[in-house]
Amino acid sequence: MQAAPSCYRCHVQLHSIPFPSCSRLPVRVRWKSTVRMALTEDGPSIAVVGVTGAVGQEFLRVLADRNFPYRSIRMLASHRSAGRQLTFEGHDYEVEELRPESFEGVDIALFSAGGSISREMAPAAVERGAVVVDNSSAFRMDPSVPLVIPEVNPEAMAHICLKKNGKVGALIANPNCSTIICLMAATPLHRHAKVVRMVVSTYQAASGAGAAAMQELEQQTREVLEGKQPTCQIFKQQYAFNLFSHNAPILPNGYNEEEMKLVKETRKIWNNLDVKVTATCIRVPVMRAHAESINLQFEKSLDEDTARQILQEASGVVVIDDRASNFFPTPLEVSNKDDVAVGRIRQDLSQEGNHGC
């Protein structure tokens, strides 16, 4: 089974919610109304941490695309970016230097500024009553912090709500990009037949390494085509027209950190320490949208047609599986789209009794 998401939207789960009283966070909702509901007096106050980075900019795009209601928004970044001017939904904002007091009066704080910043500043935001959604790895494996994919395990954050009056802060961790893609596709099948073993190979785009990596891939492509030596600053080796093992550090067990994130996060999200997961993560010279090959072994029998129907009915999943035309998900096809695209759905011939796909 092949799965591919939109560029960085797999990291960002933002949803339109009513604010007053106690509003549950978040379920995937696409507002069908053509009326803009963004800037509104009864919406929450939002802060975007790391707003000048690739993911911070994607936060803003998703907020706008989903007509997410808010009464105010603060653009926060490091002192290097402080003072920059940003335009969002027709309004001009000045980027502020991130400080603990930046979260006074903030209801929702969206963090994507790296693990060290999250560890330092997220608790400060929670203390001031904000619900923090953190995109870094800082809190993912903390037993006290829910690790949430809204379509997969929303119950993990059922105790968290927004309150207009009062200071009730909370922290929600966002899984790693490869985990989100994988579990969006695998969980509907897991619920039906129970996954006992999962083998995942990822093909990860430059966007996962940030804006600088995307710029370097573009620059290297020009340099190689011009016969020049490629500039290698973000990665230690040529990226253009090449692929290599994911650049995350290698651990003593031979896996890299990216691969072990998928193993550990899957077990936490599924609340199942017994599920067997192995992963191989590869960096490929694609600008946006990771792809994955996922092989599943089930406890119960699951035939191909039933698996396809389950995926077609799954929230946040779109099936692109045209064998006759040999047409399946591609990064170009899914970039800047919300859903995880799934294709190459087929029975695993190495397993008997319809116990794998």
Digitized pLDDT (tens) for each residue of the chain, 357 residues in all: 766 654 333 333 333 333 233 333 333 333 333 334 578 888 999 999 999 988 899 999 999 998 999 999 999 999 999 999 999 999 999 999 999 999 999 999 999 999 999 999 999 999 999 999 999 999 999 999 999 999 999 999 999 987 655 667 999 999 999 999 999 999 999 999 999 999 999 999 999 998 899 999 999 999 999 999 999 999 999 999 999 999 999 999 999 999 999 999 999 999 999 999 999 999 999 999 999 999 999 999 999 999 999 999 999 999 999 999 999 999 999 988 889 999 999 999 999 888 888
Number of H helices, E strands in the chain: 7, 17
Query: What is d(CA 225, CA 215) in angstroms, rounded to the nearest whole number?
Result: 16
Residues 102, 113 contacting (CB under 8 angstroms): no
Active-site residue identified among 190, 246, 290, 355:
290
Instruction: Estimate to the nearest angstrom the gap between the alpha carbon of 242 and the chain centroid.
Output: 25
Q: At 171, phi and psi to the nearest 5?
A: -130, 130
**pLDDT in the model for residue 14:** 36
**pLDDT in the model for residue 155:** 96
Query: What is d(CA 278, CA 91) in angstroms, rounded to the nearest whole number?
Result: 47
Active-site residue identified among 177, 182, 281, 357:
177
Residues 109, 134 contacting (CB under 8 angstroms): no
DSSP 282: E
**pLDDT in the model for residue 9:** 37
Task: Report the SS3 class of residue 231.
Answer: coil
Residues 6+ apart with CB under 8 A from 16: 29, 31, 37, 66, 67, 68, 69
Q: pLDDT tens digits for 317-342?
A: 999 999 999 999 999 999 888 899 99
Residue spans of beta strands (DSSP E) within the chain: 2-4, 23-24, 45-49, 72-77, 85-88, 91-94, 96-97, 108-111, 131-134, 161-162, 170-173, 195-204, 244-245, 276-283, 291-298, 317-319, 340-343
**pLDDT in the model for residue 210:** 87
Active-site residue 182, yes or no?
Answer: no
Active-site residue 22, yes or no?
Answer: no
Domains and CATH numbers, the chain: 9-174 (3.40.50.720), 178-343 (3.30.360.10)
- Reading the block at residue 204, the tokens are 């990860």
| pTM reported for the whole predicted model | 0.86
CB neighbour class for 35 (10 Å; exposed up to 12, middle 13-18, buried from 19): exposed
Q: pLDDT tens digits for 74-126?
A: 999 999 999 999 999 999 999 999 999 999 999 999 999 999 999 999 999 99
